[in-house]
Amino acid sequence: MKKHYTTIKLACSVAFAGLLMAGFTSCGKKDANSPGVEFMPDMYRSPSLEYYSIHTIGTDTIYNAKKPVKGTVARGYVPYAYANTTEGYEQAGANLHNPLAVANKAQWEAEGEVLYGKFCVHCHGATGGGDGKVGGKLPGPPPAYNGTLKNLPEGKIFHSITYGKGSMGSHASQLTQEERWKLVYFVQKLQGPKEVAADSTAKGNAKPAEAKK
């Protein structure tokens, strides 16, 4: 009985060794890139399906991915009340204010600076001079924050980041509203203190004086 087992064991080992050798010799021979025998080709080469397409396999209709129902609102979506028009821009400038508490200004500026380094610096430059590596090469380079844009109100800054302006694209899909407001704080830091408007009373006095002439 014991002898039988030994013979069977030996036979098995020889067969196994043979299989192993066959296995090794079969790869890498003629074509190094050949994957060898494919036992279940469908598992190696699954058919790629287009997104949002409908397929029929036999009598089955397969919906690859269904489009969201009309009117679906993305999770976390916050509506923005101002239209992408000149009027919307002016209204945002007049009425839109930063909802992030000014008490934490330093924190928002610091977080805004990080975002600025990722999304804006290549066009606007480190100090907002419009001299970023890309910005300097644009046909209409960005104006300087502490120059032409010195007195740009926060609502307009937010509006332009949201919709884009000129050769600057919209950043609404990359940045949440909160992130855009953090950036507003940082842009304001680069704008520096607002220029004090010329004294209106002086102007008011000048006119009648001129009229007298």
Which residues contact ligand HEC by CB under 6 A?
119-120, 123-124, 134-135, 138, 140, 142-143, 149, 152, 156-157, 160-161, 165-168, 171, 183, 187
Whole-angstrom distance, CA of residue 65 vs CA of residue 48: 13
Residue type, 38: E
Q: What are the backbone dihedrals phi and psi of residue 166, each rounded to the nearest 5 degrees, phi first? A: 55, -130
Type of residue found at 97? H
Single-letter amino acid code for the residue at 11: A
Which one, of 173, 154, 50, lies nearest residue 108 by Cα?
Answer: 154
CB of 135 vs ligand HEC, minimal distance in Å: 6
Q: Residue 96 or residue 120: which is nearer to ligand HEC going by CB?
A: 120
Q: Which residues contact 30 (CB under 8 A, 6 or more apart)?
A: none
Select 88 or 143, whichever has its Cβ closest to ligand HEC: 143
How near is the Cβ of 157 to ligand HEC at its closest, in Å? 4
C-beta atoms surrounding 156 within 10 Å: 20
Angle, alpha carbons 72-73-79 (nearest 5°)? 145
Smallest gap from residue 26 Cβ to ligand HEC (A): 55
Shortest CB 158 distance to ligand HEC, Å? 8
In the bound state with ligand HEC, the residue whose beta carbon lies nearer, of 31 and 175, is 175
Amino acid at 205: N
Closest distance to ligand HEC from the beta carbon of 101 (Å): 20
* CB contact at 8 A, 155 and 96: yes
> In terms of CB distance, is 100 or 187 closer to ligand HEC?
187
The least distance separating ligand HEC from the CB of residue 79, rounded to whole angstroms, comes to: 20
Nearer to ligand HEC, 14 or 94 (CB): 94
Number of residue whose CB is nearest ligand HEC: 166
Minimum CB distance to ligand HEC smaller for 45 or for 133 = 133
C-alpha to C-alpha distances, 123 to 42, 120, 169, nearest whole angstrom: 48, 6, 11
